[in-house]
Amino acid sequence: MSINSFVAELTSCKCTQALLYVAVVVGVYKLTLFSLSTISLVADLFILPSTNWSKYGAKKGNWAVITGASDGIGKEYATQLAGRGFNVVLVSRTQSKLELIAEELESKYKIQTKIVAFDASTDKEANYQLLASSIEGLPVTILINNVGQSHSIPVPFLETTDKELRDIVTINNTATLKITQTVTPSIVKTVETSKKQVRGLILTMGSFGGLLPTPYLATYSGSKAFLQAWSAALAGELKPSNIDVELVISYLVTSAMSKIRRSSASIPTPKAFVKSVLNSVGRRGGAQDRFATMTPYWAHALMHFGIENTVGVYSKVANTLNLGMHKSIRTRALKKALRKKEQ
């Protein structure tokens, strides 16, 4: 039976028939988009080959700048980029930790390192001047914006301390923007000097907390949502300069920030997570509907894609579920703190 015959059998009203034709066209369009997105998701996660890092200047004496490099995900970015043949500039707060990591990377991978120690929460101009002088003259092609801070435990916005609020916004937003302003001119110069034979790359760490508005993590959630809009805008600006800009969205990873020590299918180690990022730069993974954005780890990608294509990230359902989960986490954290205090 043809569509015309089917519609004619349903109703003889011309207006209703017209509406039915529109519904069919819209339905076919939506189904086609969903099918293509699903195919792209599977290809990104499980089929396409790993990123070829030679386009970013691997093993050619080029440098990568990594912030928050002394622990967890940042340390893994430094380690795995060094393993791909990049010299690395390690930026973090603790000088002694940076020195140990630098020595380890130089010995294991036979690359060069530089360390820049500063506390991003202070937002002192001297920090950025020190970073600028440290990379002066270096052929930098990569910046990893990994430095970040969340709340110590989930907390109502009206009870968030002034220090925690300011530290989160300063570290996640102000410091990230100013570090990017400091480092990107060196990337632009390197790409131009190479006559665009190599590309530049800026990766910024996002979060499910920014993807979904998250009650009881309101300040952190807002700071990460800001990075989504900023990073996408920057991607448009720098594309003509042969510099790729991407926001990297993750769910939980075992780290000091998440306070989770045991990994699982949905909570990878920093090593596994960073491997998924570096293997899939340039692909969207679970972020099929977003420009200049990637959700690379397979479990996180499936979660992101599923939420986006069912209840939606801005829906009341998602918000309510998020609220309940973080209220529960806060209750358990407060009980644990009370037990420790009574011991």
Domain containing residue 285: CATH number: 3.40.50.720
Residues in binding site: 207
Question: In this model, does residue 266 exceed pLDDT 80?
Answer: yes
**Within-domain flag for 35:** no
CA atoms within a 13 Å half-sphere pointing along the CA-CB vector of 8: 5
Residue 44: Cβ-neighbour burial (10 angstroms; 0-12, 13-18, 19+): buried
Q: Binding site for substrate: what residues are annotated?
A: 207
DSSP characters over 48-92:
SPPP-GGGGTTTTT-EEEEESTTSHHHHHHHHHHHHTT-EEEEEE
In a domain, 39, yes or no: no
| Per-residue pLDDT reduced to its tens digit, 193-219 | 998 899 999 999 999 999 999 999 999
Q: Is residue 149 part of a domain?
A: yes
Domain extent at residue 147: 50-334
14 found inside a domain: no
Active site residue 220: yes
Contacts of 295 (CB under 8 A, 6+ apart): 248, 249, 250, 284, 285, 286, 287, 301, 304, 305
Domains contained in the chain, number:
1
Does some domain include residue 272?
yes
**Is the Cβ–Cβ distance between 90 and 78 less than 8 Å?**
yes
Nearest one of 142, 99, 143 to 117, comparing CA atoms: 99
| Residue 285, pLDDT score | 98
Residue 276 lies in a domain: yes
60 in any annotated domain: yes
Rounded to two decimals, the pTM is: 0.93
277-293 exposure pattern, b = at least 16 Cβ within 10 A, e = fewer: bbebbebbbbbbebebb
pLDDT attached to residue 1: 56
Span 266-289, average pLDDT: 97
Q: Which of 220, 251, 297, 314 is catalytic?
A: 220
pLDDT at 14 (0 to 100): 72
Domain assignment present for 16: no
